[in-house]
Chains A and B, each alone.
Chain A
Amino acid sequence: MPCGGHVMVARFLSANDFLFSKSAMVDTPENAVVVCDLEKRFGAFVAVNRVSFSVRRGEIFGFLGPNGAGKSTTIRMLCGILRPTSGSGMVGGLDIRTQSEEIKARIGYMSQKFSLYQDLTVEENIDFYSGIYRLSGEERRKRKEWVLGMAGLSEHRKRLTSVLSGGWKQRLALGCAIVHQPPIVFLDEPTSGVDPLSRRRF
């Protein structure tokens, strides 16, 4: 894809904030994500200034940058929940402008804001997302056990999410975001507010 020569990673500088775009088994030939001159303005404010980059299949790709650098806004555009002002982007071979609903079925997105339902139990949260992703029968049951095991919450499946500690909540949120085994995962500051040990585990 032809692109102007902006290199995105160079623009984001701080060490504290992370984005991982991890691609495992994408069916597009070489690139999971291709972004070209992507721009987002909110009125006069430029949130993302003509960003271009590409991420290969299987690659773990991170954004570094200070608050307000535009990391979350970029991710949101890639997830199809925010319309770009200009520029183009392909995720899993699909256009983020015209095929955002198709993209949503193939990605997992863990937002920066806390995304679990606090008044639901661990299990109910997982059940809800597997329902949304239309998992059924045996697969649904297996994926649930997998998420519970991954998050270390098998013993606490009947607990309300609100009483869980921060690290557990983060792992459960990740589990819910990838319950449908998406080929591409976007994580927006997945380990903020979590102690170093939990962060390492994550």
Chain B
Amino acid sequence: MKFRRVRAVARKEFLHIIRDLRSLGMAIAIPMLMLILFGFALSVDVNNVPTVVWDQSGTEASRELLSRFDGSPYFSILSQAQDYTALERAIDTRQALVALVVPSDFAERIRSGRQAMLQMIVDGSDSNTALIALGYAEAICRAYGAEVAIDALRRSGGPSVRVPLDVRSRLWFNADMESRHYIIPGLIAVIMMIIAALLTSLTVTREWERGTMEQLISTPVQGTELILGKLIPYFVIGMLDVLLALLMGEFVFRVPLRGNVGLLLTMSAIFMVGALSIGMFISIVTKSQLLASQVAMTTTFLPAFLLSGFMVPIANMPLVIRAITYLVPARYFVSLLHGIYLKGVGLEVLAVEALFLTVFGAAMVLVAYWKFQKRLT
């Protein structure tokens, strides 16, 4: 491999990028757009769920329970209804996602120590929110129920009771439960995958389509020199995108970066080499720009988006899909990013992921090299 040839190819490729403002714009605009969209718009947090209430009881006890709902950060009671028609309308028009109905005998039953009922109606058309809201509601009711029971015992002169199980939970690594804090780091993996694969997927196909490849393969340039020279400029752009994402995470989204920045950048670089080589491989195999970009989109973006654990937790997936995620390189990178960003851990914990990532990067380079032939077919 001759350095002068690699340099000639890299310089030419840089010029292509600089002259083609569209691809340069794409390399900067896509990451920005994704960061802004996902950082600001996408939140899987469930807060202030609009709630409508029909309080048939209208007693101190019922008001006490409802104020616990309203007082929590998860629900906000926006309106009162007097019949089921009004409840239904509120849910149909999405003014409320949750309806609470307190039966008229609520206070009476509590006073007499019988089981009281509370009806909760949840808009299941958004099943994720519904599930989370249900969980919060149950927790509120359980706490309320326990207090009522203890209160009743104490009043009846029984021995002083302690709650048998007192759970004090602390959330580590993301104490505020900000979904942004794990979405932004994971997003870096998705962005890199798209940018790397999409941009490089065109570099070889373009030369075949324009006829310049025929000239190039008649020169003594070697496959390694050509591939390496073509990768260098995109590597630089990709790493700039990583820096852009890091800076936006730090200053715009205030995501805490607890681990080592150097380790983060090193791992990003390894992942980048693998992702770029995938794009190169696609470009070498397809020989048409249109096909190449479509293949790059479906084989890199979709798995990185859906199967990396970036948004959808891998643990919740069916067994078969979970097995498939082991083949998605972004999976390892996302857990590295989460580990470094949120937990602040280093290689001592993340060695396996780092190893897989390195293997992936090296394998992709080899595959791309192996597939490239300096011949017409």
Q: Which listed residue (A83, A114, A115, A116) contacts B375, Cβ 8 A?
A: A83
Q: How far is the CB of A190 from chain B (nearest CB, A)?
A: 13
Q: How many A-B residue pairs have CB under 8 A?
A: 80
A105 at the interface (CB under 8 A from B): yes
User: Which residues of chain A from 3 to 45 have a CB within 8 Å of any chain B CB?
Assistant: none
A64 at the interface (CB under 8 A from B): no
Contacting pair A115 B15 (CB below 8 A): no
Contacting pair B5 A132 (CB below 8 A): yes
Contacting pair A124 B375 (CB below 8 A): no
Q: For A125, give the chain B residue with the smallest CB separation.
A: B12
> CA A81 – CA B376 in complex, angstroms?
6
> CA A155 – CA B7 in complex, angstroms?
27
Q: Mark A80-123, 1 if CB is under 8 A from B, else 0.
A: 11110000000000000000010011010111011111111000
Contacting pair A111 B215 (CB below 8 A): yes
> CA A129 – CA B5 in complex, angstroms?
9
Given the complex, which residues of A lie within 8 Å of B215, measured CB to CB?
109-111, 115, 176-177
Contacting pair B2 A134 (CB below 8 A): yes
B159 at the interface (CB under 8 A from A): no
A131 at the interface (CB under 8 A from B): yes
Q: How far is the CB of A163 from chain B (nearest CB, A)?
A: 13
- Chain A CB within 10 A, most for which of B9, B15, B214, B222: B214
- Chain A CB within 10 A, most for which of B16, B220, B221, B376: B220
> CA A53 – CA B375 in complex, angstroms?
24
7 A/B residue pairs, CB under 8 Å, sorted by A: A101-B220, A104-B220, A117-B212, A127-B11, A131-B4, A131-B11, A132-B9
Please give the residue numbers on chain B whose beta carbons come within 8 Å of chain A beta carbons, in ascending order: 2, 4-5, 7-9, 11-12, 15-16, 19-20, 210-212, 214-222, 374-376
Please give 9 more A-B residue pairs, beta carbons under 8 A apart, in addition to A81-B376, A82-B376.
Answer: A81-B375, A82-B375, A104-B219, A105-B220, A111-B215, A117-B16, A124-B15, A128-B9, A128-B12
Please give the residue numbers on chain A whose beta carbons come within 8 Å of chain B beta carbons, in ascending order: 76, 79-83, 101, 104-105, 107, 109-111, 113-120, 124, 127-134, 136, 176-177
